[in-house]
Amino acid sequence: MSNLRQNEDDRHVQIRTYGVTFRAGHPAHMSVPTRAPTWHKLIYATRGATTVETDGGAWVVPPHRAVWIRAGVDFRVRMSGVVAMRLLYIRPGVRGARLPAEACSVVNVTPLLRELIVRAVTIGALDARIAEQKRMIGVIFDELRVLNAMPLQLPLPRDPRAARFAAMAGENLTLDEMLRACGASRRTLERIFREETAMSLGQWLRRQGLLHALRRLAAGEGVNAVALELGYNGASAFIAMFRRELGQTPGQYFRS
């Protein structure tokens, strides 16, 4: 399904939409329409998980969460499993609209906003001259104003050695092998990661593992299999880490 509207020059159209479902077997990296670089974007997955990547970091978007991207931010989207994606393109500068200030963030989507997104995508573009659509635009802006950000960002270092280390994370390599490959000591990388990501090397690796786990869980893999893949002795240790990071067990998180 795809119904992106091209009314960018129509100042009365305040929200445009795009909806598509990617089936199993699609390429991991897909492009979504970015023909409105001057518009804000809310990328929402009703099913499956997406990873939104920018030059500054990566954000995992599990089911029924969304990623907010301000106008002007270049991004790429990576899919995990079957993904049903719904996008809102929001015109900047709409009078009275108070939108999230962050350049990029993963946010919880309220049940009301979820239904509004689905409804807006079926309409295609929301025009403020149409009374019903004007009311709908106002409620969407109200819901966007109270979005709660979640700690699902993986900031990326800029230093070439640290960037090489980050690119190898998740591969079947030991820490010592990764350190030798990037040509830096652990002490050096600790300093770089703290300076450039505001996280210790251990914190960064745990966050990277968590985001990888979210993608696998959203694709339908079991908790025990994901835990073993990440090097945990069993599901209980993995669930404890998951709860520390996100405040819920994996089961609670995906049910919510």
The domain spans of the chain are: 13-150, 156-255
Q: Crossing angle of helices 160-168/186-197, nearest 10°?
A: 100
**Rg for the chain, CA atoms, rounded:** 19
CB 55 within 8 A of CB 29: no
Q: What is the CB-side half-sphere exposure of residue 2 using CA atoms within 13 A?
A: 4
Q: Is the confidence at residue 24, as pLDDT, over 70? A: no
- CA–CA gap between residue 241 and residue 243 (Å, rounded): 5
Identity of the amino acid at 170: G
Which percentage of the chain shows pLDDT scores above 70?
89
CATH assignment of 156-255? 1.10.10.60
Write the CB contacts of 27 (distance below 8 Å, at least 6 apart in sequence): 79
Lowest-pLDDT range of 27-41, 99-113, 154-168: 27-41
**Apex CA 95: angle with CA 15 and CA 128, to 5°?**
40
Q: Which of 43, 144, 136 is nearest to 92 (CA)?
A: 144
Indicate whether this model's pTM tops 0.85.
no
Residue 72's CB: how many other CB atoms inside 10 A?
11
CATH assignment of 13-150? 2.60.120.280
Q: Which residues pair with 106 in a beta bridge?
A: 67, 150
Q: Is the confidence at residue 216, as pLDDT, over 60? A: yes
In which band, very low, low, confident or very high, does the pLDDT at 211 lie, cut at 50, 70 and 90? confident
SS3 17: strand
